Each structure stands twice: as structure tokens, then as C-alpha cells.
């Protein structure tokens, strides 16, 4: 008979498998609408916040897959909100992270699913179907499956820690960043432009986090995010050896639940970029929206 530790591990790995299956099914569904001229695009709150029928359909598919295997789960989704369950698992679901990219035919969007047990993250999956890449992590480590290579390999975050060599994914300042401290935000962006080798606006939170785990970019920051945006990516980065820090009110949140923090900083190992931390300390003091 398997030991309790073995049974716990098997159960955790089943969680990962279900998350991967849900992400792959949602990704395949989303690809049906990607670059379709008939795609209907709606606004959620304003012209910068878009949604499509595929966002909703993909989340419905993910929820169905999860509840078939773990019917007592709590699911926190971007489109349908929170459905409370009685079990220990909470699933954070972003069916299409990077909807604006998806809606315009830019192949930089992904499905993100993070899973917590009793509040502690235990699995993360980010599926980039347009580029046939699947990033995932659990207690076994962090991994990348690429169909083009026909293999799955361990992820080891690495990169440049000298700003003069570093590439930073910086979706800042966005319109929401120009509400409270616009002059400061623009001044900080100018300094970042001069300080770092390259700045890139990717338009997808989870893609930026996955790329740090893979060592393809060196750092990223963002504001006013939600748990479904970051839960999977934060976990994958840490399992790959990188750095993730949630910010709130100018301070770093405790690691245990920092996927619930509204702002974040992430970097490759040793990537402690003071200018980015300054941006986080000042800009994360903004009032809650």
C-alpha cells in the first residue's frame, strides 16, 4: 500500500495533469477564433479592456474539465468570477491572458491556470497554443514542453543581472498608471529606457512570467493585476529558480500568498534591479481601484 506521502504526491500530480488538460483544451478552442476576421470584440470597462466570446467559452471549458475531476473545487476566473467549493483546492483561471493581442492576431497570449491547496500554491500551467509551448510546474520542478522540439525539458531561469545587458518586459506606464502619478511614471519610464539594454511591451502578464522562468527575458513589473493573472506564473518562476515578489502599499508582501498582491516584480536569479524596485515602491502606493 502506498505511503501517505506517496498518495499526497500522486494526488498533487493528478492536479497538475488536470490543469494541463484543461489548458490544452482551452488553447485548442481559442485557436479556432485566433486571427478570424469575424471575431467579435467587446469592451469590459473601457477601450483598453477587451473581451471576446472565446474568453468566455474557454473559461467555461476549463471549469468543466476541473469540476469533472475535482467537483468540490473553488474556481476563481477572470470572466465568471468565483464559484465557491467545499474542498481544499482553489483554481485561478485566466482563459486568455493577453486578450488585446489575441483580438488583433498577435501571437502573444496564453491560457493560465494556477492551483492552490489550502492557500498554498501547488501547481501552475501556462499554455501558449499559438507557439505550441506549455510551461508547467509542481513539486517535481518546472518544465517546458515544445511541440517544435518534440520534447519536454526542465526549466532553469537564468539571465543578465547588469541593467546594461538586461531585457525587461515593461508594460508601464499604461493608461491606469498615468492616473495618480503621471509625471513620476513618465520620468521613471524615461530612466528605465536609458538604464536597460532593451524594453519590451509584451501585452501578456503570464507570457512575461513564463519567459523569465525560461530565461528569455530578465525582469518584468506590473500593476493592478489579479490572482488569475499571476498565480501560475509566480509559481513556475519560483520552481525554475527565479524571483517573484508581490507588492502592496509600497512594501513587499509575504511570499506565502503574494499571488494575491495587486502588483508584482519578477526577475531571473540575482536580478535585483533597484530602479524597478523604486518603481514598485512608489507606484504600488496608489489607491485600490
pLDDT in tens, 117-168: 999 999 999 999 999 999 999 999 999 999 877 789 999 999 999 999 999 9
Model confidence at 5: pLDDT above 90: no
Q: What is the pLDDT of residue 49?
A: 46
- pTM (two decimals): 0.93
From 265, 164, 151, 255, select the one nearest 205 (Cα to Cα): 265
Model confidence at 4: pLDDT above 80: no
pLDDT tier, 115 (very low <50, low <70, confident <90, very high otherwise): very high
Give phi and psi for 132, each to the nearest 5.
55, 50
Model confidence at 46: pLDDT above 60: no
pLDDT in tens, 53-66: 888 999 999 999 99
Q: What is the pLDDT of residue 60?
A: 96
Q: For the chain, what percent of residues have pLDDT higher than 90?
A: 80
Cell (9 digits) for 28: 485548442
pLDDT in tens, 177-209: 999 889 999 999 999 999 999 999 999 999 999
Higher pLDDT, 228 or 8: 228
pLDDT tier, 6 (very low <50, low <70, confident <90, very high otherwise): low
Amino acid at each position: 500500500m502506498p505511503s501517505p506521502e506517496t498518495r499526497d504526491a500522486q494526488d498533487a500530480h493528478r492536479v497538475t495533469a488536470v490543469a494541463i488538460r484543461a489548458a490544452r483544451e482551452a488553447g485548442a478552442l481559442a485557436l479556432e477564433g485566433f486571427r478570424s476576421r469575424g471575431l467579435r470584440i467587446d469592451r469590459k470597462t473601457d477601450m483598453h479592456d477587451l473581451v471576446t466570446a472565446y474568453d468566455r467559452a474557454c473559461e467555461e471549458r476549463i471549469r468543466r474539465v476541473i469540476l469533472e475531476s475535482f467537483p468540490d473545487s473553488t474556481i476563481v476566473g477572470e470572466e465568471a468570477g468565483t464559484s465557491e467549493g467545499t474542498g481544499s483546492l482553489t483554481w485561478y483561471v485566466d482563459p486568455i491572458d493577453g486578450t488585446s493581442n489575441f483580438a488583433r492576431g498577435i501571437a502573444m497570449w496564453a491560457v493560465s491556470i494556477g492551483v492552490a491547496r489550502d492557500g498554498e500554491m501547488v501547481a501552475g500551467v501556462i499554455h501558449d497554443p499559438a507557439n505550441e509551448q506549455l510551461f508547467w510546474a509542481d513539486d517535481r520542478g518546472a518544465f517546458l514542453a515544445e511541440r517544435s522540439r518534440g520534447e519536454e525539458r526542465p526549466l532553469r531561469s537564468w539571465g543578465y543581472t547588469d541593467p546594461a545587458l538586461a531585457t525587461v518586459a515593461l508594460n508601464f506606464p499604461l493608461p491606469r498608471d498615468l492616473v495618480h502619478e503621471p509625471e513620476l511614471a513618465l520620468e521613471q519610464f524615461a530612466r528605465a529606457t536609458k538604464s536597460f539594454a532593451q524594453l519590451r511591451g509584451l501585452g501578456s502578464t503570464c507570457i512575461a512570467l513564463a519567459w523569465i522562468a525560461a530565461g528569455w527575458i530578465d525582469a518584468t513589473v506590473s500593476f493592478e493585476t489579479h490572482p488569475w493573472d499571476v498565480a501560475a506564473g509566480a509559481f513556475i518562476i519560483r520552481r525554475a529558480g527565479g524571483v517573484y515578489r508581490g507588492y502592496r502599499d509600497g512594501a513587499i508582501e509575504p511570499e506565502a500568498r503574494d499571488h494575491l498582491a495587486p502588483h508584482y516584480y519578477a526577475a531571473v536569479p540575482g536580478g535585483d534591479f533597484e530602479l524597478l524596485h523604486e518603481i514598485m515602491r512608489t507606484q504600488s502606493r496608489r489607491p485600490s481601484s
